[in-house]
Chains A and B, each alone.
Chain A
């Protein structure tokens, strides 16, 4: 039997987490413009509110009042549904992310700050995130435009090649912790020495690269490709539908940053303070996540886009073999009960 208190607690958590996700998505559009401006000796948005902080709101209002165009010959139903399909997976995957350790207020334990503490959290996130490419492909196909179709096609090819790497690197972490529960994975990294980034340096690097491809961000933004495909899959989109694509992209970035934090940087663990209270842990989690979010923006305004054949050859000839080798090596270490750092110590 479920007590009404439990339902209330869950509702509050859902409102907090989901609300924050949308907020972060909106603020990321501002951060993107601000950081890009600073990197190019500019100032960036500064007209709406202090430091342009109300800019996302102004953009949102503008998007709502824009005319929503639909190209002739477009598949009307899929054209309408595609933005939703692109944004929904990001909103769904946030549910499995544990943002903090157990919240204790006045002796009351409210559990982790997570919408659902799933025993198959990793599996759930991977399976739902795999759906996100449908929005891009369907949006590209339903637009009845050659640029959109090319963007969608490229996105699908890229997603297939990089999702493999992503899954294999996550699998290595799962093999190390012996659980698919994201909460337990972060529990296993309470101290800074136990963070999986130290035992999985190669895996971490592969994960970061695959993370960029998975979210269609520079230097792998082949779904958009402003230079050659106009705007790729969302060429024909306007108004709120276009905004939904963007919200989906930024939400996906946020979720995968959270996932990277949980898998490799110990989630809510505070360096050198294992017994930190939950709110400090939550702060540490958010700080680590924002490092990844900044990395997304930072890389976007630094690197040029790869060529499509380069992308494919890196994905299949470099990333995949490395990820497989990493997983195999991790498997050997785990099954033999070795510790990587102890093994390195024995070498000298």
Chain B
């Protein structure tokens, strides 16, 4: 059995008034302290390398997409947000996606696609804003997802640094 022992109040506490005045003085002082509000649309969010925004596809320096449409991200996606149709290309890697759709309404920004990708082709960018007028407009196709590599460089470096921790000498 639990016996809760109530705190014995002193006379000053029983009178309420001194304690009430103490509380009032605290709230009055706080009124003059600066606000911590971030005025969001005007003041942008603070973004760090750890920020896991919407997934984006890497476009290499030679203007070619890094994705080889292996479908691993599609398989890893827990929300079934990714749809890929593979196709052939004349480049050395021979394959590139003909269609790469991410349904941003289904995407839960978990980052599994980023982890699954063997070609460092998909990364979680720092883009967070997601609003549109129709559901169709929020199914992003390959053109909307493409980003030059340098735009994602901070995140790429961060992911590589984290992955290095688990890199064993035997793995390449």
Contacts and interface: CB of A to CB of B under 8 A. Distances in A.
B137 interface: no
Interface string A194-209: 0000000000010000
A9 interface: no
Contacts of B32: 38
A298 interface: yes
B35 A38 contact: yes
A185 to B, nearest CB: 26
A205 B35 contact: no
Nearest to A314: B16
A221 to B, nearest CB: 16
Interface string B18-60: 0010011011101111111101000000000000000000000
Nearest to B16: A314
A41 B24 contact: no
B30 A39 contact: yes
A302 B34 contact: no
Interface in A28-78: 35, 37-43
Contacts of B35: 37-38, 41-43
Q: How large is the interface on A (under 10, 10 to 19, 20 to 34, 35 or more residues)?
A: 10 to 19
A298 B24 contact: yes
Interface string B138-158: 000000000000000000000
A342 interface: no
B17 interface: yes
Nearest to B22: A302
A301 interface: yes
B17 A42 contact: no
Nearest to A299: B24
A302 to B, nearest CB: 4
A303 interface: yes
Nearest to B33: A41
A39 B36 CA distance: 11
Contacts of A301: 27
Contacts of A43: 35, 37, 39
A35 B24 CA distance: 13
B23 A39 contact: no
Contacts of B36: 41-42
Contacts of A39: 27, 30-31
A35 B26 contact: no
A302 B23 contact: yes
A303 B20 contact: yes
Interface of A: 35, 37-43, 205, 298-299, 301-303
13 contacts: A37-B35, A38-B30, A38-B31, A39-B27, A39-B30, A40-B30, A41-B30, A41-B34, A41-B35, A43-B39, A298-B28, A301-B27, A302-B20
Given A43-B37, A302-B24, 7 more contacts: A35-B31, A37-B35, A41-B34, A41-B36, A42-B37, A298-B24, A302-B27
Q: Which 3 A-B pairs have the closest CB atoms?
A: A38-B31, A302-B27, A43-B37
